[in-house]
């Protein structure tokens, strides 16, 4: 447990101190949301219509963005080998890193998403659903991303590979997340969509750490 917490703490510290962490994700997200109206034109109706999709798509891209350093930096500087040869089980290591990734990039997104909603004229009644859908969906993104990052570790063109691998896995999250917000916007029940999101997150929690741990063991050979 100490080792688990030590890893989480260190990764949060690095995310805060370093370029590729919290600040980049937030910067990217805010900027992406600001860039859209500039590209699409200012009509509030159009913006409101696409708001849910844009926020979710940008959340996905922001999460992807911060993934390629998830194991890569540790692998390059020799940390990963040491992390894997400690008492901590590789599965727990993956979990610790995914948790830190979510705390450093998913959580801030959830906090600023309502603001993004306002800028894109998302109707006020959909804002809580947006936050809840992100709360359920982003952990799944972090877990799936950890799996992808472990698989792409040390590969040539790892970053591109990562994107190509994680995207298909993450698409259901995106569809149900954006769908739930859209239902709320139209006054329909968002519950079913959110339930499915929760289900996906639980499934990712059950599968990803084991698969990613296996991939990591291969990578440090």
Partner 1 sequence: MFGNPFSTALPLAPFPLMLREAACWRGETEVFAGLDMMIEGGALWLIRGDNGAGKTTLLRLLAGMLRAAGGVVSWGDGQSPRKTPERALFIGHADALKPALTVGENLGFWAGFSGFAESPWPQASDPFGVWAYADVPLRALSAGQRRRVALTRLAFSAAPLWLLDEPVTALDAAGQRTVWELAAAHRRRGGAVVATTHAPMNLPDAQEMTLGGLR
Partner 2 sequence: MGKAIAAMGGFLQRQAQPARVVDLCGRFLPFAFALAVICLAAGLISALVLSPPDYQQGESVRIMYVHVPAAWMGLFVYAFIAALGGVGLVGGHPLAFHAARAAAPVGAGFTAACLVSGSLWGKPMWGAWWVWDARLTSMLLLLFLYFGHAALTRAFDDPRRGDKAAAVLALVGCVNLPVIKFSVDWWNTLHQPASVFKMGGPAIDPSMLLPLLLMLGAFKALFFTLWLMRLRSSVVAARLRAAAARARGAAWR
Residue span binding a copy of itself (CB under 8 A) among the ranges 34-42, 96-104, 135-143, 189-197: 34-42
Q: Residue 78: helix, strand or coil by DSSP?
A: coil
| Helix H or strand E encompassing 69 | none
Q: Which residues touch 157 (CB under 8 Å, ≥6 apart)?
A: none
Nearer Cβ to partner 1 (45/156): 156
Nearer Cβ to a copy of itself (52/95): 52
Establish if 23 lies at the interface with a copy of itself (CB under 8 A). yes
> Rounded CA gap, 88 and 104, in Å?
22
Establish if 152 lies at the interface with partner 2 (CB under 8 A). yes
**Residue located via tokens 């139209």:** 186
Establish if 213 lies at the interface with partner 1 (CB under 8 A). no
> Rounded CA gap, 178 and 157, in Å?
30
177 token code pair: 């997340």
190 token code pair: 């968002």
What distances in angstroms separate CA 131 from CA 55, 74, 113, 140, 202, one per listed residue? 11, 32, 7, 15, 18
Nearer Cβ to a copy of itself (79/210): 79
Nearest to 203, CA basis, from 121, 155, 160, 144: 144
Q: Which of 12, 40, 57, 84 binds partner 1 (CB under 8 A)?
A: 84
185-220: b (≥16 Cβ within 10 Å) or e: beeeebeebbebbbebbeebeeebbebbbbbbeebb
Could you tell me the smallest distance in angstroms from the CB atom of residue 53 to partner 2? 11
End-to-end CA distance of the chain: 26
Establish if 156 lies at the interface with a copy of itself (CB under 8 A). yes
Site for a copy of itself in 38-77 (CB under 8 A): 38-41, 46, 49-50, 52-54, 56-57, 60-61, 64-65, 68
Q: Which of 37, 117, 177, 209 binds partner 2 (CB under 8 A)?
A: 37
Site for a copy of itself in 79-118 (CB under 8 A): none
Q: Which residues bind a copy of itself (CB under 8 A)?
A: 17-21, 23-24, 26-28, 31-32, 34-36, 38-41, 46, 49-50, 52-54, 56-57, 60-61, 64-65, 68, 156-161, 163-164, 167, 171, 174-175, 178, 182
Q: Which residues bind partner 1 (CB under 8 A)?
A: 2-3, 5-7, 9-10, 13-14, 17-18, 73, 76-79, 81-88, 156, 220-221
């Amino acid at each position: 447990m100490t080792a688990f917490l030590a890893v989480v703490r260190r990764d949060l510290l690095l995310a805060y101190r370093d370029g590729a962490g919290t600040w980049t994700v937030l910067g990217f997200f805010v900027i992406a949301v600001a860039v859209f109206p500039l590209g699409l034109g200012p009509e509030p109706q159009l913006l409101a219509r696409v708001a849910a999709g844009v926020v979710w798509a940008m959340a996905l891209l922001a999460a992807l963005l911060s993934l390629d350093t998830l194991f890569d930096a540790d692998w390059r500087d020799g940390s990963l080998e040491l992390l894997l040869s400690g008492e901590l089980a590789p599965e727990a290591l993956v979990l610790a890193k995914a948790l830190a990734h979510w705390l450093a990039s998913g959580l801030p997104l959830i906090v600023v998403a309502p603001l993004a909603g306002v800028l894109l004229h998302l109707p006020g009644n959909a804002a809580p659903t947006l936050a809840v859908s992100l709360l359920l969906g982003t952990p799944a993104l972090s877990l799936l991303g950890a799996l992808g990052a472990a698989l792409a570790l040390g590969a040539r063109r790892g970053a591109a590979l990562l994107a190509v691998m994680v995207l298909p896995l993450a698409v259901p999250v995106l569809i149900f997340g954006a769908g739930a917000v859209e239902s709320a916007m139209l006054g329909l029940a968002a519950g079913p969509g959110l339930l499915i999101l929760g289900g996906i997150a639980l499934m990712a929690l059950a599968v990803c750490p084991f698969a990613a741990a296996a991939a990591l063991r291969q990578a440090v050979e």
